[in-house]
Structure 1
């Protein structure tokens, strides 16, 4: 029997928009949703009821420092006053930075957090086994500042809601190529929230953290695992390390629910990182997490979006594969059994666009890696990743 999975409407996320040329652009969501619709794999009428914006704002204010929220509100005006502009940099919201302030950003970020909390409530209440909120996953936001395109940390808000209302033990799995630093630091001393992040090593990539020695602190020591991968890591090494990490962690931690973040920027085509994986990892990682959920949490699984900056060739396919897996969609049997996963719908993309892509769009679900130039130092990179994994997991039972 197919899993019971709910799609969290992403419409409000269109307001979370820095500028037309900013890499974190909502067109990614439109293209992914359109691909699912053209594949007859999404019923938009089956969505969770909206979570109260007032309650979501209360949770946001509970986990973020009050002076920071006040700064966000002040900078959300159409024309912020000089006092607000003078403190923008202090809170990571400077106009020329990675996370520039924009009109209405407080309301947009609260609405986005409401979607992730709704996803958590849909699962924890028992109404659904799984839920997906692709607009979520803003894992870099800190209690006191914005960072890495993230204003409020919706993942932390959802986890805090789960802990407060349901007292459940949460395993947070972050597959974004950038370390899930914000979520980690929110729960660094909490023994009932285990944060696991696989990412390109912080030696070479933002945010410069996520090293094996970061294992939690105080009563939360041991409830944190960072798998730092070498630049130019390919599919086999990435998936081998991921599989070992999540299996050992789930066995030792015994979570009540899994919350996963699905940034899809570890692909070779992504412009902001140096990992050389293909679409295969975005087929396999959701499958592994899905199996883990049914083995350890009675199916309770909340999935969020995240990064991913090749809007056309990578994000739509990766996020569509995630939804297909969560639903055990019949299309997966074809994707898994035919070369390159079979063709994408000819009608995709079928949405009004201000500009057309300047690259050739993919025509199949998976990548033809046989046509890619082989990475040099493959054996050396693989061996280094194995050693990094062994070091990172020394404290996992």
Structure 2
């Protein structure tokens, strides 16, 4: 594979409306796209619109009766079938290439199940991407989810499939939706060790988050030897996010994005699909984080100390009446953290979480905990 990294974008992705005050505000996508353009990252990208997924593709993950229910809800939103999770507070009903790297920050809707909508996700584009790679002949696909919420829908889709390794680093399920993603959840009997979950305590900050990621993800990828890497980069781990309780900065998010890029080149021949996900600090956090992600995929990384364009700051104010940040950093770059190899503290809650995950899944992959 060669050529420019692809950015999947169509203005139509901002046409949905969950109503005033809903955290999934499409302005976060529009402002991200404008910041990508404002910083000149477009010059290193091929911007393309993905065609709508057909029913045959949707059936790779979702049940046929659920697809029919979604179509019926689109035609008649007032009579959406709530047995499928449609028309609920979270999931409203409304009418409605050839490259090594691809970015779709409008995607990452990782909660949708085979037969139900969940967590503001109707169809699970992340699971569909993995399923499509398998359909095209891939023998091993790895999925790494760094959203603050457990990537439950993707894990469920491939729970019994040894061809797919799912890794989710998220806030502890006792504290946050969807209340799943425990270390002991490691896959079905015929696919043990192909699901890995690393739940972190509320309040985890940059150093702990990066330590946890690097203590689990690289070794599992090395042992699995994936042909493709799909990653999900929800920004709701950020300390300003209103819906969760981690304390991660934009700078740490950028560090993990860069690490995923490097891991794709190390273990997957550079074949990398990067997705967005959750994130509800729509002016301050989401656009900057996903612009960093897009620029990293384009091999044109934006320096953290770079100033954001003044024209973009004005666009933010016009759209949200919020003051935009002045730079592409939270002022924590470079982020410092202690590698796992340098020892651990058995009394530290983050280290306890890491140990629990390693002990649960590493032996199943033939690795030392």
State the match for 1:322 in structure 2: 293
Using the TM superposition, give the Cα deviation of residue 270 of structure 1 relative to its aligned residue in structure 2, in angstroms.
0.2
C-alpha change, 1:79 and 1:270, in structure 2 (3 Å) is closer
Secondary structure of the structure 1 residue equivalent to 2:46: coil
C-alpha change, 1:252 and 1:140, in structure 2 (3 Å) is same
Quick one: distance in 2 between partners of 1:352 and 1:39?
15
Quick one: distance in 1 between partners of 2:170 and 2:48?
31
The 8 Å contact of residues 237 and 382 in structure 1, kept in 2 or not, is answered as no
State the match for 1:145 in structure 2: 116
State the match for 2:86 in structure 1: 93
1:197-346 pair list within 5 angstroms: 197-329=168-300, 332=302, 334-335=303-304, 341-346=305-310
Quick one: distance in 1 between partners of 2:100 and 2:271?
5
Are residues 1:393 and 2:358 paired? Answer: yes
Q: Deviations over 1:257-310 (max 9, x none)?
A: 100111110000000000011111221011111111111111000011110000
Secondary structure of the structure 2 residue equivalent to 1:307: coil
**Alignment length (residue pairs):** 351
C-alpha change, 1:289 and 1:62, in structure 2 (3 Å) is closer
1:171-186 pair list within 5 angstroms: 171-186=142-157
Using the TM superposition, give the Cα deviation of residue 98 of structure 1 relative to its aligned residue in structure 2, in angstroms.
1.0
State the match for 1:75 in structure 2: 73
Using the TM superposition, give the Cα deviation of residue 351 of structure 1 relative to its aligned residue in structure 2, in angstroms.
4.3
State the match for 1:114 in structure 2: none
State the match for 2:57 in structure 1: 59
Using the TM superposition, give the Cα deviation of residue 357 of structure 1 relative to its aligned residue in structure 2, in angstroms.
2.9
The 8 Å contact of residues 60 and 132 in structure 2, kept in 1 or not, is answered as no
Using the TM superposition, give the Cα deviation of residue 348 of structure 1 relative to its aligned residue in structure 2, in angstroms.
1.0
Give the alignment partner of residue 362 of structure 1, picking from 305, 314, 325: 325
The 8 Å contact of residues 233 and 382 in structure 1, kept in 2 or not, is answered as no
Using the TM superposition, give the Cα deviation of residue 89 of structure 1 relative to its aligned residue in structure 2, in angstroms.
2.3
Are residues 1:348 and 2:312 paired? Answer: yes
Quick one: distance in 2 between partners of 1:34 and 1:381?
46
Quick one: distance in 2 between partners of 1:232 and 1:385?
10
The 8 Å contact of residues 139 and 183 in structure 1, kept in 2 or not, is answered as yes
State the match for 2:349 in structure 1: 384
TM-score by length of 2: 0.89
Using the TM superposition, give the Cα deviation of residue 73 of structure 1 relative to its aligned residue in structure 2, in angstroms.
1.3
Using the TM superposition, give the Cα deviation of residue 48 of structure 1 relative to its aligned residue in structure 2, in angstroms.
3.7
Q: Deviations over 1:349-384 (max 9, x none)?
A: 4549875334x32111111359xxxxxxxx999911
Using the TM superposition, give the Cα deviation of residue 325 of structure 1 relative to its aligned residue in structure 2, in angstroms.
1.1
The 8 Å contact of residues 233 and 381 in structure 1, kept in 2 or not, is answered as no
Q: Deviations over 1:15-50 (max 9, x none)?
A: 343224321121111101111111111149823464
Q: Deviations over 1:201-220 (max 9, x none)?
A: 11100000011000001221
State the match for 1:376 in structure 2: none
Quick one: distance in 2 between partners of 1:76 and 1:4?
36
Which consecutive segments of 4 or more residues in structure 1 shift more than 4 A? 350-355, 379-382
The 8 Å contact of residues 258 and 297 in structure 1, kept in 2 or not, is answered as yes
Quick one: distance in 2 between partners of 1:93 and 1:35?
33
State the match for 2:47 in structure 1: 47
Unmatched 5+ stretches in structure 1: 105-121, 336-340, 371-378
Quick one: distance in 2 between partners of 1:273 and 1:229?
12
State the match for 1:7 in structure 2: 7
Worse overlay, 361-370 or 273-282? 361-370
Q: Deviations over 1:172-224 (max 9, x none)?
A: 00010000000000001111100000010111000000110000012211001
Q: Deviations over 1:37-75 (max 9, x none)?
A: 111111498234643x3x533211342112212221111
Using the TM superposition, give the Cα deviation of residue 250 of structure 1 relative to its aligned residue in structure 2, in angstroms.
0.9
Quick one: distance in 1 between partners of 2:169 and 2:347?
15
